[in-house]
Amino acid sequence: MTSPGRFPFPCRLDRAVIIAADAALVAARPLPEMRFSDAELIALLERYSHVRARVLRY
């Protein structure tokens, strides 16, 4: 478990969430109703990548 000041959730739960999110990303397909610009998608993926790395580091 990480210190509450650094990351507020137990690592085991965080890892399960990350695994589920990874699976969802792999299964995801661009849908016609999704109207995100390339810049918005890149920003979302960068944020996800940053959080994912932070969780898996602990």
User: Is residue 2 domain-resident?
Assistant: no
User: Is residue 36 domain-resident?
Assistant: yes
Q: How many domains does the chain have?
A: 1
pLDDT tens digits along 25-55? 777 766 666 677 778 878 888 888 888 888 7
Q: What domain range is 43 assigned to?
A: 11-57
Q: Categorize the per-residue pLDDT at 2 as very low, low, confident or very high, splitting at 50, 70 and 90.
A: very low
User: Is residue 5 domain-resident?
Assistant: no
User: Is residue 41 domain-resident?
Assistant: yes
**Taking the model in full, what pTM does it have?**
0.43
User: Is residue 27 domain-resident?
Assistant: yes
The pLDDT score that the predictor gives to residue 11 is 58
DSSP state of 24: H
Q: How far apart are alpha carbons 10 and 8 in whole angstroms? A: 7
The pLDDT score that the predictor gives to residue 10 is 55
